[in-house]
Amino acid sequence: MLADFQGRRVLLLQGPNGPFFSRLGAELRALGAEVSKINLNAADAFFYRGPGAHSYRGTLSEWPDFLDRFLLLCEIDCIFLFGDCRPYHDAARRVAKARDVEVYAFEEGYLRPDYITVERGGVNKNSPMPRDPAAYQSDGPIPTALPVRHAFAWSVLFTILNSFLVTFFAFLYPHYRHHRDVNFFRQTALWARSLARRVLFGLRERHVAALVGGSWSKSYFLVGLQVHNDFQVQNSRFADVEDFIREVVATFAAHAEPTQRLVLKHHPADRAYRDYAELVAELGRQHGLAGRLLYVHDVHLPTLLRHARGTIVINSTVGLSSLFHQTPVFALDEAIYGRMGLTASGTLAEFFRQPPAVDLARYKQARAWLVRHNQANGSIWARLPGLGAAGVIWPEALGASSRSPSSYRFLKGAVEGRPSPSSPAASVAFSAEESM
């Protein structure tokens, strides 16, 4: 539980767009933790309203030395961050490991929409979750999740504010480099295109839901596409999403029964950035799949999953949603639910010929393990009422450690060597709070 952080010295790095990390800091302080925050850009500084905030204005290359010095001088016990593969966070995990500082990584939930993920060590491929399916045994019933209210408007508002602040106040953090393009002018044009496409695709695909729930039910395979610059894709064996599409379509054409169809579902967050319609049409002609290959954007995902014969992903959490609907999953790269023994074994060709039934008992056991160990009931965009400042119900295993806060202090004092000197650009007065 979060209460296990009482007495620890916690450092917050970048959180999701919005005030979630500000609320997290407030809840940690209320529980008796000492909380510091390093802001890397103007949006970080705007959204974080707690004490103990510092601004880092150095370069990415200077960041590891700066952070190493910060951890040592401030005797930090653990770090919280959102997105463990961001360049600043990837470096932070390495520095923290060398200093024996625990890292807790947040991500949007493995079990959506009612959970967010928080794991010690990392998420997805960096997750410390066991690789033995036998390890995922249920310890009894888990409480029913409180439903998370729809907060799309808040997520849009926070994303727009983040883009605006990073763009127009870049002079305050001149060396900051975001892991994705957040330029306000380019993003505004892209968001407008996304809105136009949503209207267009909605009109074009009105008939699809009736088809998949009717005559197509259980006679098609669903392919869940991921965002083109998702770290999960970048760290997979595929060069890009197009590479994934080509492999899946070619295998389907060679091995699926001629009565089966293939439906490719575009990721809604990628609507403004990519459109694979020409590629899909070209592959349909190349493999003779006229009438059997469909590319959709905004068809209701649970409906598609419920009526599919099987789901194919790179490593997306759509796989867990598919299992919830008792639709078997084949993952073409490492997925956390693959470690749990929930994905189909063998080859994709075999999956197209005969997808195995979902082991529902194993899925329920694995789901209970996730809820107990790394799934926080709640949302990063809007608080659940009647809870702590962060507005989430924390997993019971969060923060459990064999070391007490005092043992952290001892370990810090036993570290040999002096902190690396930081350059003027990377310097910070640790005793003074800084703001925008």
Please give the Cα distance from 204 to 297 (Å, whole number).
10
pLDDT on residue 423: 39
- Work out the number of other CB atoms within 10 angstroms of the CB of residue 202: 12
Show pLDDT as tens, one digit a residue, over the chain (436 residues). Answer: 899 999 999 999 999 999 999 999 999 999 999 999 999 999 999 999 889 999 999 999 999 999 999 999 999 999 999 999 999 999 999 999 999 999 999 999 899 889 999 999 999 999 999 999 999 987 677 888 999 987 888 998 999 999 999 999 999 999 999 999 999 999 999 999 999 999 999 999 988 989 998 999 999 999 999 999 999 999 999 999 999 999 999 999 999 999 999 999 999 999 999 999 999 999 999 999 999 999 999 999 999 999 999 999 999 999 999 999 999 999 999 999 999 999 999 999 999 999 999 999 999 999 999 999 999 999 999 999 999 999 999 998 887 764 555 444 444 444 434 343 333 334 444 443 443 4
- Rounded alpha-carbon distances, angstroms, from residue 22 to 26, 30, 125, 394: 6, 12, 27, 16
**Residues sharing a CB contact under 8 Å with residue 419, sequence separation 6 or more, in sequence order:** 68, 69, 72, 73
Question: pTM for the whole thing?
Answer: 0.89
CATH number of 206-372: 3.40.50.2000
Q: Which pLDDT belongs to residue 418?
A: 39
pLDDT of residue 34: 97
Please tell me if the domain spanning 2-151+374-414 has the same topology as the one spanning 206-372.
yes
Q: What is the DSSP string of 93-142?
A: HHHHHHTT-EEEEEEE-SSTTTEEEEEES-SGGG----S-GGG----S--
Closest by CA to 24, choosing from 104, 133, 94, 137, is 104
Task: In whole angstroms, give the CA distance from residue 120 to residue 369.
Answer: 15
Q: Which of helix, strand or coil describes residue 70?
A: helix
Task: For residue 286, give both structure tokens.
Answer: 């190349």
Assign 375 to helix, strand or coil.
strand
The Cα–Cα gap between 124 and 104 comes to 13
What's the pLDDT at 119? 96
Boundaries of every domain in the chain: 2-151+374-414, 206-372
Fold of the domain spanning 2-151+374-414: Rossmann fold (3.40.50)
Instruction: Give me Rg for the CA atoms of the chain.
Output: 23
Please, which residues bridge with residue 335 across strands? none
pLDDT score recorded for residue 403: 54
Alpha helices (H) along 220-347:
231-234, 241-255, 277-286, 301-307, 318-324, 336-339
d(CA 401, CA 405): 10
Are the beta carbons of 295 and 311 closer than 8 angstroms? no
Query: Which of 391, 365, 336, 361 has its CA nearest to residue 142?
Result: 365
